[in-house]
């Protein structure tokens, strides 16, 4: 049983051509058969089937089905689902059970979605390849010797491999968009504050945003309709009214659309295959009546540096709570309290997480604060101004999601700086807090997927999804 879209599945469910139980059973079977893909850290099995039966009874009793009735979903393992394990793909949380639902999770449940389980990721969402997981790497669905991207690698691989219809991920600097690009699915990172972060384990709180991964833009819009909106439990969530994203998408017309193409997003060392595929899609939009305008975002070279100063600073503070006393793992090899803290963290965290805690502590320390942290905050403001200025002149900014196609497992693990460059095109929207998505753009000469990124002004998720749908639709004809 495979469905091209949620609408299609929904219709079959409401017409009683199939049942939630049958659909969930089918997904669970496929998950089991594909255990070697290492996509799920926890599979809900009985819990998902029980939920499906409950939904079938609901329909049977004539009660009104929710907006996401029977939608089989995967949840990134840094989001709280009450009563389920929450690991953040870290040893330090490997035996931790969540005690409440994240707001996004709660809203999905209220509209009758079904969770199949919790999916793999880079430890605490730090990484671009899913190789920083304490539960091992995830192979790319198009070439198992390559990475699926990260940190939401499990979310992207789940959707690409039909191991979930839609997945939630989180994006701090590209973790929804980059894996979506690597796995040929749609990945939307909404405006900062669009979705409540309550129940999302914090990495860089002023960057973190929950995102949606799906096969097509319509499904992403349906899910965003449900999870977006103000939440009293997250003071950074926005009051901005939540529109009907499906309607917003319908209002988009390619004719006359001004697409800004930053020359910094097409540097000389850009992978040729990536450049060719993205350019081809942009030319098609031009043929359909859009206007391509070359723009310049001159500070682009500073994005990675600013991002890694600010997010490591925030991470060093956010991760202080994992001390062996409050959650999860506690070292057994300590003689006193100080030793317990040190050993729990030393044994519990992986090397990338430790690197970032140390970096963040360093940039915040007396004597370096002004040189690094304060400077990076100033750069952040410049980015915001530049992107707003650009989006005052064009409707949307477009370019590749990643400078290269999915790389080999192991290729970049020994060189963190190389790994950080995977995010060069995705971090600016996170620095500015603007919405951005990656849409499948086609395949390079070796058959590897290429993603195209669209960046919009604040709260223009509907517009981005509408344009992305045109790009995806154009290829199917
Ligand atoms: N790859 C980036 C990093 O390692 C982005 C991670 C994310 O968006 N969570 O920080």
Minimum-distance ligand 1 atom for the alpha carbon of 125: 9
Confidence bin at 2 (pLDDT 50/70/90): confident
pLDDT digits (tens, 9 = 90+) for 123-167: 999 999 999 999 999 999 999 999 999 999 999 999 999 999 999
d(CA 321, CA 266): 41
In the reported structure, the alpha carbon of residue 77 is separated from the centroid of ligand 1 by a whole-number distance in angstroms of 15
Confidence bin at 382 (pLDDT 50/70/90): very high
In the reported structure, the alpha carbon of residue 20 is separated from the centroid of ligand 1 by a whole-number distance in angstroms of 35
Q: Which of 129, 131, 175, 305 to mutate to test the pocket of ligand 1 (most atoms within 8 A of CB)?
A: 175
d(CA 141, CA 130): 13
d(CA 170, CA 185): 15
Q: Is 423 in the pocket of ligand 1 (CB under 6 A)?
A: yes
Q: Is 151 in the pocket of ligand 1 (CB under 6 A)?
A: yes
In the reported structure, the alpha carbon of residue 309 is separated from the centroid of ligand 1 by a whole-number distance in angstroms of 13
pLDDT digits (tens, 9 = 90+) for 417-469: 999 999 999 999 999 999 999 999 999 999 999 999 999 999 999 999 999 99
d(CA 265, CA 400): 7
Q: Is 449 in the pocket of ligand 1 (CB under 6 A)?
A: no
- Flag whether pLDDT at 477 surpasses 60: no
158 burial via Cβ count (<10 Å: 0-12, 13-18, 19+) = buried
In the reported structure, the alpha carbon of residue 313 is separated from the centroid of ligand 1 by a whole-number distance in angstroms of 14
Q: Which of 77, 90, 120, 122 to mutate to test the pocket of ligand 1 (most atoms within 8 A of CB)?
A: 122
Minimum-distance ligand 1 atom for the alpha carbon of 127: 4
Minimum-distance ligand 1 atom for the alpha carbon of 175: 8
Q: Is 126 in the pocket of ligand 1 (CB under 6 A)?
A: yes
Q: Is 128 in the pocket of ligand 1 (CB under 6 A)?
A: yes
- Flag whether pLDDT at 192 surpasses 90: yes
Q: Which of 78, 121, 125 to mutate to test the pocket of ligand 1 (most atoms within 8 A of CB)?
A: 125
Minimum-distance ligand 1 atom for the alpha carbon of 126: 4
Q: Is 238 in the pocket of ligand 1 (CB under 6 A)?
A: no
In the reported structure, the alpha carbon of residue 207 is separated from the centroid of ligand 1 by a whole-number distance in angstroms of 10
pLDDT of residue 204: 98
Average pLDDT, the chain: 97
Token pair of 415, please? 């060189």
Confidence bin at 326 (pLDDT 50/70/90): confident
Q: Which residue is listed with tokens 């729990």?
A: 344
Question: For 360, how many CA atoms within 13 A lie in the half-sphere containing its CB?
Answer: 21
Minimum-distance ligand 1 atom for the alpha carbon of 422: 1
Confidence bin at 476 (pLDDT 50/70/90): low
In the reported structure, the alpha carbon of residue 80 is separated from the centroid of ligand 1 by a whole-number distance in angstroms of 19
Secondary structure E strands in 111-174: 114-119, 166-171
pLDDT of residue 313: 98
Supply φ then ψ for residue 33, to 5 degrees: -65, -25
Mind telling me the catalytic residues? 76, 151, 175
Distances (CA, A) of 343 to 125, 143, 229, 339, 384: 22, 38, 41, 6, 41
Average pLDDT rounded to a whole number, residues 237-245: 98
pLDDT digits (tens, 9 = 90+) for 384-397: 999 999 999 999 99
């Amino acid at each position: 049983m495979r469905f091209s879209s949620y609408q299609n599945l929904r219709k079959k469910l409401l017409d009683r051509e199939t049942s939630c139980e049958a659909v969930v059973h089918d997904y669970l079977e496929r998950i089991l058969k594909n255990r070697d893909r290492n996509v799920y850290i926890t599979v809900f099995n009985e819990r998902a089937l029980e939920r499906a039966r409950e939904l079938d009874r609901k329909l049977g009793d004539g009660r009104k089905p929710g907006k996401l009735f029977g939608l089989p979903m995967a949840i990134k393992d840094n989001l709280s689902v009450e009563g389920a394990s929450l690991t953040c793909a870290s040893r330090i949380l490997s035996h931790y059970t969540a005690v409440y639902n994240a707001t996004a999770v709660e809203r999905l449940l209220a509209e009758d979605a079904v969770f199949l389980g919790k999916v793999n990721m880079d430890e605490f969402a730090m990484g671009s390849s899913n190789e920083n997981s304490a539960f091992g790497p995830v192979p790319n669905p198009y070439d198992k010797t390559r990475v699926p991207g990260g940190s939401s690698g499990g979310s992207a691989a789940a959707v690409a491999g039909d191991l979930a219809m839609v997945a939630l991920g989180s994006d701090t600097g590209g973790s929804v968009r980059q894996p979506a690009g690597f796995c040929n699915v749609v990945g939307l990172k909404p405006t900062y504050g669009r979705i409540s972060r309550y129940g999302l384990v914090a990495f860089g709180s002023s960057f973190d945003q929950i995102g949606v991964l799906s096969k097509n833009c319509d499904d992403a819009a349906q899910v965003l309709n449900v999870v977006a909106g103000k939440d009293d439990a997250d003071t950074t969530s926005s009051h901005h009214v939540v529109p009907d994203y499906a309607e917003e998408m319908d209002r988009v017309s390619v004719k006359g659309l001004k697409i800004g193409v930053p020359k910094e997003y097409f540097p000389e060392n850009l992978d040729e295959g990536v450049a060719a595929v993205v350019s081809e899609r942009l030319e098609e939009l031009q043929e359909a009546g859009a206007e391509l305008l070359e723009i310049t975002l001159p500070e682009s070279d500073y994005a990675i540096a600013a991002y890694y100063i600010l997010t490591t600073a925030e991470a060093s503070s956010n991760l202080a709570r994992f001390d062996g006393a409050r959650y999860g793992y506690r070292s057994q090899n300590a003689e006193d309290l100080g030793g317990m803290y040190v050993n729990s963290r030393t044994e519990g965290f992986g090397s990338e997480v430790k690197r970032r805690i140390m970096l963040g502590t360093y940039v915040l320390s007396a004597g370096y604060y002004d040189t690094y942290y304060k400077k990076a905050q100033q750069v952040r403001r410049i980015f915001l101004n530049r992107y707003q200025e650009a989006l005052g002149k064009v409707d949307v900014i477009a370019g590749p999601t990643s400078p290269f196609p999915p790389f080999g497992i192991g290729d970049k693990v020994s060189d963190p700086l190389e790994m950080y460059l995977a995010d060069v095109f995705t971090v600016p929207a996170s620095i500015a807090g603007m919405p951005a998505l990656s849409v499948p753009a086609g395949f390079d000469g070796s058959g590897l997927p290429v993603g195209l990124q669209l960046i919009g002004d604040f709260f223009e998720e509907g517009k981005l999804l509408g344009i992305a749908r045109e790009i995806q639709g154009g290829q199917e004809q």
